[in-house]
Structure 1
Amino acid sequence: MLRSTALSLLLLSAAATGANAQGLRGETDINAGLKATATAVELSDNCPGVNARLLRGINYLRQLEQMAKDRGYSQSEIDAYVDSRKDKKRLEAEARAELSAKGAVEGDRESYCKVARAEMAEGSAIGRLLR
């Protein structure tokens, strides 16, 4: 009985501090938002006619941070995830792969501009972060 009570308390505690067993890495919607932000930055870096909407991007990142907090992640967990070089590289690689799948070719600025214009016209999460 004591053992099952202790196990129940442990499970409740785990649920309250980071809802996903994988941590923030497993939060697909938050990661999709981070990837959209990375993709928008990549597009603005490679297309001279497109700029990232910095204030909108900052507000979007704050919304993602609040989502993580609402799910029980602490500020230190969020900071550790955001500062993780491994996770940054993973998200950047995913963003580049998505851009490639959409027709962006490294070194071909016009291909990045074409993707950027399509994202803006579609009103996608990426497109809303560009102007």
Structure 2
Amino acid sequence: MMSTRTVLLAAGLSVTAGMASATDYDALRKDSRMHNELLGASIAYLIDENCSSLTLRKFRLLNKAFSLRSHAVGLGYSTREVMDYVDSKAEQDRFRAIAEPMLAKRGAKPGNEASYCAIGRENMEKGTFSGTLLTEG
């Protein structure tokens, strides 16, 4: 089952569909903006998944996806290649493997909704990338 993050990013990134499919995503992995924003989206998604009182701001996420897609196209990737990268199960797992320990280090505990909510609200107050993707409700 695809996550909300994947669906929104894929929708935002799939405005056009190229024929080529990138197998070397090294430039995307090394680009600090790509990394930071996808990691921030992963963190927001995990908070949304584990805190029922905070939800993803789906239109904001979609807007960020369009902007990030434009950035990636500027790196030389087609829209289709960027969509394949974002939709890649391996890349989603890679970002989750980075985000989960970061949240745990800040006090998130599996099964403890309040711990995720506290981190989410702190991110919202600080205006972090992941915080801008969350809202109460």
> Which TM-score band (shorter chain)?
0.7 to 0.9
Residues 34 and 61 in structure 1, CA contact (< 8 A), matched pair in contact too: no
Gaps of 5+ in 1: 1-17
- Could you give the per-residue CA deviations for residues 55-95 of structure 1, whole angstroms, max 9, x where no partner exists? 00111111111100112211232122112211110011111
Residues 36 and 126 in structure 1, CA contact (< 8 A), matched pair in contact too: yes
Report the AA paired with residue 99 of structure 1: L
Work out the CA distance in 1 between the residues paired with 2:84 and 2:55: 28
The answer to whether residue 63 in structure 2 is matched with residue 63 in structure 1 is: no
- Decide which structure has greater strand share: 2
Deviation at 1:38, TM superposition (A): 1.2
Q: Cα gap change, 1:88/1:112 in structure 2, threshold over 3 Å: closer, same or farther?
A: same
Aligned residue among 109, 120, 127 for 1:116: 120
The answer to whether residue 73 in structure 2 is matched with residue 98 in structure 1 is: no
% identical aligned pairs: 31
Deviation at 1:21, TM superposition (A): 8.1
Q: Cα gap change, 1:95/1:21 in structure 2, threshold over 3 Å: closer, same or farther?
A: closer
Gaps of 5+ in 2: 1-21
| Number of residue pairs aligned between Structure 1 and Structure 2 | 113
Report the AA paired with residue 26 of structure 1: K
Residues 30 and 64 in structure 1, CA contact (< 8 A), matched pair in contact too: yes
Partner of 1:6: none
Cα RMSD over matched residues? Answer: 1.8
Residues 47 and 110 in structure 1, CA contact (< 8 A), matched pair in contact too: yes
Q: Which has the larger radius of gyration?
A: 1
The answer to whether residue 85 in structure 2 is matched with residue 107 in structure 1 is: no
Partner of 1:89: 93
- Could you give the per-residue CA deviations for residues 8-64 of structure 1, whole angstroms, max 9, x where no partner exists? xxxxxxxxxx9x982312212212101111111110111111111000011111111
